[in-house]
Amino acid sequence: MRCLSVTKCRRFTQATLNADIQRYQNRFYESSEICITDVLIHNLVNPIRHAESNQMFPEFTDLAKPVISLDLDTSKLVELLQQSAVEHLTMFRQLQAQDFGSMTTIVTTDFEALYAYKCGEYQRCLQLSTHNVRTMIDGCQHLPCVFAVTEFIQLLDNNIASLVGLTLLAGVDRSDYRYAHHIPITQSSLSLYLLTQCQIKLHHSLTSLAKTLDYVQVARRNPYHQQITLDHLLLKLTERKIVRYISVDS
């Protein structure tokens, strides 16, 4: 503040200003710990000194230890943001079911199941996905979708992310980015995939996998699913996973 008063008000001589800056410089380099305010003042004073004497202060990065480490663990913040996003998406599904439930079958826990699978909570994902499949298997054809927008990639597993990339490479005009960012997966196809993955990871019986295979084959014969590229690919992948698992264990 004193340096600012000198430069703006000119109440002190240049010699006084230089002496004040020199004293501050000496104390700055002698400090074993520095605060953010010290760095700000240094950045403010250094140009003033440089302008007057055409000399720069020496490097000080190794002369004082930082107050906090720059190596921050942001994993907890990312987890909280993802949880908040899933809660808001679930509220959105509940509003959809409230407004359009009389016209089509809408389940409200598809994002919860997807997040549970990502977190390794396979039993909870299994329960949610089983309920969703049974709810939608005899429902209307025009089901709500999960769109494979960039923000959702972190919730999807490697198989689905790879299928999204394959869909973009094989069947989408790359100049049409609006479509590329809105590739749909129906709730039923996603739920069947999650159900299958959880059954395999939890080592369910061949009987339960065979029943899921029946559901998948019914969905694959549905013309509505055949019209959606990513749905078609995901159901085909799900069917192959079940057949492979049954053939290995039988």
- Residue 7's pLDDT is 54
Domain definitions of the chain by residue range: 2-53, 75-249
User: With a threshold of 0.75, does the pTM exceed it?
Assistant: no
* CA angle 232–195–103, rounded 5-degree value: 65
Whether 142 and 224 have beta carbons less than 8 Å apart is answered as yes
Whether 229 and 160 have beta carbons less than 8 Å apart is answered as no
Per-residue pLDDT of the chain (250 residues; tens, 9 = 90+): 445 555 555 555 556 667 777 777 777 777 777 676 666 666 666 655 555 555 544 554 455 455 555 566 788 888 899 999 999 999 999 999 999 888 888 899 999 999 999 999 999 999 999 999 998 876 655 667 888 777 788 888 899 988 888 777 766 544 444 554 568 888 999 999 999 999 999 999 999 999 999 999 999 998 888 888 888 999 999 999 999 999 987 6
The DSSP line for the chain is -HHHHHHHH--S-HHHHHHHHHHHHHHHHH-SB--HHHHHHHHHHHHHHHHHHS-PPPP-TTTSB-SS-S----HHHHHHHHHHHHHHHHHHHHHHHHHHTTTS---S-HHHHHHHHHTT-HHHHHHHHHHHHHHHTTS-S---EEE--GGGGGGS-HHHHHHHHHHHHHHS-TT-HHHHT--EEEHHHHHHHHHHHHHHHTT--HHHHHHHHHHHHHHHH-HHHHTSHHHHHHHHHHHHHHHHHHHHH-
- Residue 60's pLDDT is 47
Residue in the block written with tokens 């390794």: 120
